[in-house]
């Protein structure tokens, strides 16, 4: 039989325990309710592979302005984007990591064979035929050398089972006033268009231009021939001082990478919403 004094102490202790349990329950409820804020958004891209293509390279410098070559900026920007993808749990594949043009990746004969297959498929699907593709497929035209390098980029993305392809470029114009990001997409692909919309939404805040919304369909080889959703990002104008300095700065590269990857995340959540219906 416990003494009166002992009982009082036990009661006090059990009251403390009850308060403790209630506090823990409140905390757990709060954790469940605010779960999205508690779990870090680090793994948004887990399971996705994104191919990043630094435009130009090697013998192909792209455009040049004030001693800066497009091929150099595209590599820096692509590396920043790849780093950001990896930081968010995704896999990034770069089509080149050095100053190379990839013109030796496949032979002319291989390119002609691939073009023949694609031409046949275009006819079957009733797609608009590009006159250059027709010429190469029918043997009246020889593939230009740079086309081998572009094909290499598509094959690298394909070999890594990439879900998306982003080709990174910069713009150039004779008037210094032209500026801002432009995103090009595959005319035949709704996914590509959605990806362009999602990325451009963020990019245009960083690099505003005159064109709004700054997205357009384009029949450029890498877009025309990519079997996965692909976009070509003209990040900014090397011929514009503001754009050029922003793209060359470390803060600019980080901000651009975040913008692009925010767009990619939005695109994937849009696609998964569609898939759940």
Q: Given the complex with Zn ion, which of 57 and 62 has the nearer CB atom? A: 62
- Least distance from C-beta 222 to Zn ion, angstroms? 10
- Least distance from C-beta 149 to Zn ion, angstroms? 12
91-94/68-69 β-pairing: unpaired
Q: Given the complex with Zn ion, which of 170 and 194 has the nearer CB atom? A: 170
Nearest Cα to 72, choosing from 251, 208, 244, 207? 244
Residue 189 in 3-state DSSP?
coil
Q: Given the complex with Zn ion, which of 146 and 270 has the nearer CB atom? A: 146
Question: Of 113-121, 167-175, 181-189, 266-274, which part binds Zn ion (CB under 5 A)?
Answer: 167-175
Q: How far apart are CA 60 and CA 99, in angstroms?
A: 9
Q: How far apart are CA 47 and CA 130, in angstroms?
A: 35
- Least distance from C-beta 167 to Zn ion, angstroms? 8
Angle at 239 between CA 165 and CA 237, to 5 degrees: 30
Q: Given the complex with Zn ion, which of 61 and 86 has the nearer CB atom? A: 61
Report the first-to-last Cα separation within the chain, whole angstroms: 67
Residue 222: count of CB within 10 angstroms of its CB: 23
Task: Rule CB under 5 A: choose which of 45, 51, 53, 62 binds Zn ion.
Answer: 62
Q: Given the complex with Zn ion, which of 63 and 262 has the nearer CB atom? A: 63
Task: Rule CB under 5 A: choose which of 71, 88, 96, 169 binds Zn ion.
Answer: 169
- Least distance from C-beta 118 to Zn ion, angstroms? 23
Task: Rule CB under 5 A: choose which of 48, 50, 51, 55 binds Zn ion.
Answer: 55
Residue 220 in 3-state DSSP?
coil
Residues 180-239 that bind Zn ion (CB under 5 A): none
- Least distance from C-beta 234 to Zn ion, angstroms? 7
DSSP 3-state percent helix, strand, coil across the chain (nearest 5): 55, 15, 30
- Least distance from C-beta 162 to Zn ion, angstroms? 20
Q: Which residue(s) pair with 64 in the sheet?
A: 69
Instruction: Count the residues of the shown chain that bind Zn ion, applying the rule CB under 5 A.
Output: 3
- Least distance from C-beta 62 to Zn ion, angstroms? 4
Q: Given the complex with Zn ion, which of 68 and 112 has the nearer CB atom? A: 68
Per the listing, tokens 């630094």 go with 54
Question: Of 62-70, 137-145, 177-185, 253-261, which part binds Zn ion (CB under 5 A)?
Answer: 62-70
Q: Looking at beta carbons, which residue is closest to Zn ion? A: 169
Q: Answer yes or no: are the C-beta atoms of 234 and 244 closer than 8 Å.
A: no
Per the listing, tokens 């008037």 go with 175
Q: Given the complex with Zn ion, which of 150 and 157 has the nearer CB atom? A: 150
- Least distance from C-beta 63 to Zn ion, angstroms? 6
Q: Given the complex with Zn ion, which of 237 and 267 has the nearer CB atom? A: 237
Per the listing, tokens 């409820």 go with 29
Task: Give the pair of three-digit tokens for residue 174.
Answer: 């004779």
Task: Give the pair of three-digit tokens for residue 24.
Answer: 């823990």
Residues near Zn ion, by CB under 5 A: 55, 62, 169
């Amino acid at each position: 039989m416990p003494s009166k004094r002992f009982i009082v102490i036990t009661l006090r202790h059990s009251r403390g325990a009850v308060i403790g349990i209630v506090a823990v329950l409140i905390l757990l409820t709060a954790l469940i309710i605010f779960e999205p804020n508690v779990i870090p958004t680090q793994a948004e891209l887990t399971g996705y592979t994104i191919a990043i293509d630094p435009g130009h390279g090697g013998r192909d410098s792209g455009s040049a302005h004030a001693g800066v070559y497009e091929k150099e900026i595209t590599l820096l920007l692509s590396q920043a984007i790849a780093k950001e993808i990896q930081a968010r749990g995704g896999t990034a594949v770069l089509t080149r990591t050095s100053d190379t043009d990839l013109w030796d990746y496949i032979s002319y004969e291989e390119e002609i064979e691939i073009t023949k297959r694609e031409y046949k498929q275009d006819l079957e699907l009733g797609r608009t035929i590009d006159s250059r593709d027709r010429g190469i497929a029918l043997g009246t035209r020889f593939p230009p050398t740079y086309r081998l390098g572009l094909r290499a980029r598509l094959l690298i993305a394909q070999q890594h089972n990439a879900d998306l392809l982003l080709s990174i470029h910069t713009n150039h114009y004779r008037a210094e006033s032209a500026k801002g990001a432009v995103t090009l997409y595959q005319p035949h692909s709704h996914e590509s268009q959605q990806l362009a919309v999602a990325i451009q939404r963020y990019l245009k805040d960083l690099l505003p231009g005159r064109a709004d919304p700054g997205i357009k369909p384009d029949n450029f080889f890498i877009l025309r021939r990519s079997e996965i959703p692909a976009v070509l990002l003209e990040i900014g104008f090397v011929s514009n001082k503001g754009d050029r300095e922003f793209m060359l700065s470390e803060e600019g590269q980080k901000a651009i990478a975040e913008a692009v990857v925010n767009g990619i995340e939005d695109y994937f959540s849009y696609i998964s919403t569609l898939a759940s219906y």
